[in-house]
Amino acid sequence: MPVSRSMAALSGIAVLGLALTACDDQANGQIVAHNGERHVETVSNLVIGGCHRFPEGVTRVDNYTTSSLIMYSTPDCTVPRGGESVYLDGPSSDNVVGSAGLWRSFSFAPE
C-alpha cells in the first residue's frame, strides 16, 4: 500500500508542476538592444507582464520573440505628453527615429 501512496504523491507533484509551468506567461526568445553599433543588452524568455527597462537608451531593438513589443522613450513605459509609443511586431527589428529620442523601456503588446 505505501508504494501506491508514494506514486500518487509523485503523480500529484508532477501534475502540479506541469500546471504551474503552463500558467507562466513568457515570451520565448531574445530581445537584443543596441545604441548605434554598440550592443547594450540581450534578454531572454521574459515575463510578458509589466514594464521592462533598458540599462540605457537604445537606438535599435531586434525582437527575436513571437510576441509584439511596445517601445517607449520613458523609463516607465508611459507615453510623454505629445510623444508616442512604437509597436514592434515579433520577430522583427526597428531603429528609433531621431525625433523620437532613445528607447528606454518596453512592454509586451496584449495578444
Residue 8 lies in a domain: no
Asked whether residue 83 is assigned to any structural domain, the reply reads: yes
Contact 71, 54 (CB under 8 A): no
Residue-wise pLDDT for 39-91, tens only, equals: 999 999 999 999 999 999 999 999 999 899 999 999 999 998 988 898 998 88
Mean residue pLDDT across the chain: 82
Query: Considering the domain boundaries, does residue 5 fall inside one?
Result: no
Answer yes or no: pTM beyond 0.85: no
What does the alpha-carbon distance between residue 32 and residue 43 come to, in Å, rounded to a whole number? 7
Closest C-alpha among 25, 20, 96, 95 to residue 66: 25
Residue 20 lies inside a defined structural domain of this protein: no
What range does the domain containing 50 cover?
25-108
Residue 18 counted as domain residue: no
Per-residue pLDDT tens over the stretch 3-53: 566 555 545 554 444 444 444 588 899 999 999 999 999 999 999 999 999
Q: Is the residue at 90 inside a domain?
A: yes
Residues 63/70, Cβ–Cβ less than 8 Å:
no
pLDDT at 101: 81
Q: What is the pLDDT of residue 82?
A: 87
What does the pLDDT read at residue 52?
A: 97
Cα separation of 24 and 43, whole Å? 17
Q: How far apart are CA 109 and CA 104, in angstroms?
A: 16
Dihedral (C-alpha) 68, 63, 84, 110: value to the nearest 10 degrees? 20
Domain count, the chain: 1
Residues 95/103, Cβ–Cβ less than 8 Å = no
Residue type present at position 49: G
Residue 91 lies in a domain: yes
User: What's the pLDDT at 67?
Assistant: 92
Tell me, yes or no, whether 33 lies in a domain: yes
Grid cell, residue 87, equals 509597436
